[in-house]
Structure 1
Amino acid sequence: MQNLYIAESTLPGVKFALSEATDSDVGRNGVSTYKLNQNEHFSLAVHKAGASVSAELVLQKALDREKQPVITMTLTAVDGGSPPKSGTSQLVVNILDNNDNIPIFSETLYKTKVIENAPQGTVLIAVNATDADAGLNSEIVYSLRSKDQDHVLDMFEIESQTGVITVKGNVDYEERRVFEIRVEASDKGQPPMSAHCKVLVEVVDLNDNPPEITVTSLHNTVKEDVKEGTVVALVSVLDRDGGRYGDVSIQIKNKVPLKLEANYRNYYSLLVDEALDREKVSNYNITIVATDKGAPPLSSTSIVSILVSDVNDNPPVFPEPIINVYVNENSPTGAVIKTITATDADIDMNSQVRYSFLQYNTDSLQVSAMVNINSETGDIVSLQSFNHEEMKTFQFKVQATDSGVPPLSSNVTVNVFILDENDNSPAILAPYSEHGSVNSESIPYSAEAGYFVAKIRAVDADSGYNALLSYHLSEPKGNNLFRVGTSTGEIRTKRRMSDNDLKTHPLVVLVSDNGEPSLSATVSIDVVVVESTADIQTQFRHVPIKEESFSDLNLYLLIAIVSVSVIFLLSLISLIAVKYHRTDSSFSRYSAPMITTHPDGSWSYSKSTQQYDVCFSSDTLNSDMVVFPALFPQVDAELISINGGDTFTRTQTLPNKEKPKVPNADWRYSASLRAGGVMQSSVHMEESSVMQGAQGVLVQNWPTVSSAADGEGGEVSPPMGAGVDSNSWHFRYGPGGPGAPPQHLKPGEVPPEAFIIPGSPAIISIRQNQGGEDDKSDFITFGKKEEAKKKKKKKKEKKDKKDKGKDDGDE
């Protein structure tokens, strides 16, 4: 076996010498030739030189170690003997490797993901490359290409032996969402060979960025009278995260008169939503909060400050609409009697107030001559000294005007009350007020205790306590004969006279007011004691008033009280009289009717001065009648029901103000025979005219009109075969008795006396009494009693026959 080592890079045509074969024979029987089994890479070249024969291995095709690293062949040596003999030798060709193959990656493009903010050393992916060569030519070294990917080298690194790529820096989705890493694999051959691949790294977003709010103010200061809808600022919101992490909602957190209105996507307008009032709120801090939809959500807050500028929209305001000022009389001129102050809710110039008199005119006195006002401070200064006795009060108005544009103003009424001071002494009234005269009074010696001597009258021009006067006697010691009323000023005796008393008593009366200090006045009276009342001389200069006279005012009051009392009593008596009068008339009008029965079956019905007698057959069970009085159309008509001939029922009262409508002269009466022999009938009224009672209840209908009556209209006969027996009855009315001629009844008229009695025939006799006398002028008859008895007998027979026939039919 021969081993050959041939490099795979050997070119075709190269020959390789082989070992020669030996043969013990010589000559022709020695080795004569060589043979090589057939293969695609090598051939055999045989060379003869004399008796020696050699062979060479010739390379026909380039070798490839990666395809066939070892080639085994058989070399055969043949001698020239006959038969020829041969020997073989195995050739093993070992192909030596050359670095002729580059590394190959398992994939040309690798894809992977990494979460942003992944910590350093996080493994992304491991790349793999292989080299078909052997030995050092197949050993791979990995690296990242440095050209044009500096940012990648800062973020990632690869392990040279294993090809594992790890995170090196801070991966931020918001900075770079995708990374493309180019990896190089090189073998260790000489010269080395290398290959490249790409790794695509996608960064996975996390909700790690809160929304960013940007506010662009258009107006930092807004006037308080700004219109609603005015845009104050522009607001934009940005979230650097992606997907739903970047979806942001925005709102105003606190309650302010502004709102956000969306413009486009994350752009909004901050505008005025309600009327602003600087006097209530002068500065708004608007808190805007933006929140994304991450889990958990992130939010951010921005505060926008808006200043509200003032507008002159508030007039000056006084603390109260009316101000009362109290000034002491005789106060010094130039004193400040009151300081008027008005406040304005505005600021700056809009709140600067000036004061002035709006109008002043009280009792033709100019207020400007009495008081003045400081336009800046509002101090009201008196220009004169006031006298309560001349003027107790006066009024004026003060106007406060601000300095705004346009200016606003308001008014206040000032009432000045001049307070009284005790600056006037009491004044004695006549007759004791004359200067230079001697006041004297005379009293009899027989005067009893309490005898009225005189009365001192005084007045004080002051008011209140300053005008409250009191009277006192300034008398010498030991004189206790007289006393004076402290409040009345009446001088009276304290006791009876005695012989030791003087005949003349000089009295000094002191009149003092209640002021502080008190002022007083005095009056002197000489009281002379005389023997009798006849000696009392009336003083020539006056007639003293002894007692209080009855004043005219008291007289007027007494007359007024007496007049009112008399009027009240007369009214009360009139009301009682009217009430009793109405009660009596009501009872007389609605007096209870009287029903009187008779042995023959008839009965009498009387009401007030009218009386009705009715006779009917004994077998009448149910009957109705309507009564219309002849002479008194206003009296109510009565609907009367008779049950069984024994009981009477007053069904209803027709209204006395409504006259029943009567059809024309053609009447028709229809009746039907009720089962059991009892007659019933129904009466109808044309045009559905109905008569109603006092309470508006339907009572009875009138007969239906037909042409059954004759032209005179005085009689009406029921048609034959209408359920009434052959004894026909007729209806008459007139002023006389049964033989009187019939009266003509015009359409719309009512007979003077009418009864309508549905049911079995009955004989009705009506008498109308006026003042206790029978009036035969109104008499109506419906047949005679004899005829009624015959009809009753026939009716009974007919009833018995019908009952008998009915019983036979039932059997």
Structure 2
Amino acid sequence: MKHKRNRVWKQAAFWLLGFSLLWNITGAQIRYTIPEELKEGFVVGNLAKDLGLDVSDIASRKLRLASESNRQYFHVDSEKGELVVNGRIDREQICAESSSCLLPLQVVIEDPLQLHRVEIEIQDVNDNSPNFHTKDATLKVAESVALGARFSLESAEDLDVGSNSLSSYSLSRNEFFRLNVKTLKDGRKVPELVVDKPLDREKQSVHKLILTALDGGNPVKSGTALLQIFVQDVNDNEPKFELAAYKAHVTESAVVGSSVLTLKASDLDEGLNGEILYIFSTHTTELVKRAFKVNPNTGDITVIGDLDYETTKSYTFDVCAKDKGYPELEGHSSVQIDIVDENDNAPEIILTSLPNPVPENATVGTVVALINVRDLDSAENGKVQLNISPEFPFKLKPSFDNHYSLVTGSVLDREDKSEYNVEIVAHDSGVPSLKTTKFVHVKVLDVNDNRPAFSQSSYSVYVKENNPAGGSLFSVTAVDIDKDKNAMLTYSIVELHLNKVPMSSYFYINSENGTIYSMSTFDYEKLKMLNVVVQAKDHGSPSLSSNTTIHVFILDQNDNAPAVIYPSAVIGSVSHQRIPRTAKAGHLVTKVTAVDADSGHNAWISYRLAEATDASMFSVNLHTGEVRTKRSLSEQDDSSQRLLIEIQDNGEPVQSTTVTVDVLIEDGFHEPISDYRKKSTELNKKSGKITLYLIISLASVSLLCLMTFFILLAKCARNSRGSSSCCIRRNDSGYKNPNRNLQIQLNTDGPIKYVEVLGGDMMSQSQSFGSYLSPMSEFSDFTLVKPSSTTDFTDTLNVLDASLPDSTWTFESQQQKPPNNDWRMPPNQRPGPSGQHRFHTLQQRWTPYEKSRAGPRPEEAGAGAVGGTGPWPNPPHRSRTAPGSDGCSECK
């Protein structure tokens, strides 16, 4: 026995010095063994090393403790990863009388989340001495007590356990009593006073003894109590219980006053010596006295306190039946009351770690939070099931020992839902079942997964020509359903080129609000439509963008005055015409032709006679510009007449120009006869050399013209793959403008000889010009075409080209609708020349599938033009030149 005590002492001393710490890993758990009462700052062990972590990973992975108890007895050194004592550890306070004292710790490691369980086994140190609650005990013993009679004494309590707990009792030296130690079923040792020698009250009525309690520690600690024994007179029958041991059970929900069991004892004595009182034995613990009481008269044991199976599962104590004799005699019995567990504890859900925000593109199975669940009940009442509603995109993944991980169960979309209050329900298997609900708040972080969206894929904007530069034209807006930087947009113009000019030269866009400004002034006659591509780009990473197209249509303004084609600038500002005095009413004097570079209403031209020497003599057709006599001429009429003709467009404000025509009325002037047979017949009737010379000259010139015509026709047919055309090449004619294709055609209309110029630009838009020369014009070479006159005519065309703006010749595509049906009129009433004397103004039709297209005839436009409402007021093209041709135009 001595050897064993020395070994225990050495082991305790070894623990107190702290030189040896035991640890092991069982599965995923770590256990350390330490003695109690260690000083603050004592290092239990290197937790980081035991978990397999480097010292550099401690701070980054946020190693911390999550204890289930309210008090933190340990902490982790963030620099070394050591588990350090945080304060005084009293095993008796933590584990009471339990022989095994385990302090569980939960170690949480974040980034990524991990959970480890650590158990600290607290070894007992002999720091408590045995203690008697009653320091002065009194015992009454009858003098007739038999030898060997036993009297139970108050037992001492030692808070230590194991070898440090109460080990033995000793009694001071005396002649009459000896000490016997009885071990109860629960392992407690109770001292008994045994009568060893007959007592003689008359010799000694009081015996004073010292009772000493010793523990098994090293060194041994002890506690004492003074025992006074009073020897009393004879009462020779003690009460006896019916049962040597009583056993009962009661539910933990039993209310105060509930009866548990009834004790029954009997005494053969009579009178006061036979009257029995029931009491707890002297060594009954306070725990029992707080839970139960014994009715001294009836022996009924009832509940007086709260019972809790989770705290104390069973109560074992002794009862005493004492008579009223003198001296009092008593009998003893043991009582065991078992507590029946009930489902009175709801499950408890514990968040081991706070939930982390989850990006919306997180993969399925991403850990959000760590959860622990427990139930203080036992058996079926303590079995817990943890569930989560299927409506949430999360699920629970079991770990170990009622630990779970909350992980993502499906793909998340912040734009659909940005945060969740995940409802977790825990319910046990008791009857009735108890449940606990806990909400876990999870935020979903935004990811740049949505492109900016415009309200329309394309927009149409209408801008008047001659607009001031820098003006606001339009504003586009896009939305991005992402958040923060992912939803911040920047607008820009996609750098496209129009005629090798970047689009940024035409427009500027505010990058913040999408407002588009013009950078230049537009001219409808040069540019009719632009396509601007705007891009909206967010600030996410990677950045996403989307485009929209803005169709900018330039609206025509009346900024061009009519340009006079005939009389041309080559001829001068005054046109000289000759008519015979024999002219009748309606005689065609000349025809004024003008063109307006504008379009639509702005290009409709009207003619009027502004001034005249004799206003009653001449009239001007409003739409064709034909100047005719209003009456027959007489001898009294002045031979020189001056006409001022005003040409106006239909725009707002009205633009106009004037041309002066001098008419010379001559006697004896006759018109040439257009019919060859009539001319031959008339010539046959005349005689003389002059008439013969005239016929010969006419025939020679006609033959030469015919030969020239056939030569040109054959040459053009060879160059245009067999097509019949009469062409004058631009490079051969001397016409200097390379952007215009001209066709020159000689026509005759009674006494008026005119050359019709047909022109087409490079985009296959044809234009025609009719030039009219009277027989008495000073340019008489045009009356009878000679081979050499072509060169002269090219000079006229060059001068005419210089006098007109480019917009008169070259046109962009544009879609226009006729303004109304008021212009549905016969061809002879439309603006420009009528019949063979028509002059092509401006007419074209825009479609989204062709860049440009020559306009149809008015009759065709009214029947089949897109958006047309009737015949256009402009005359048809005389000819059309195919794209890529060498400059020849087909003559009609």
Rg larger in 1 or in 2? Answer: 1
TM-score, structure 1 normalization: 0.50
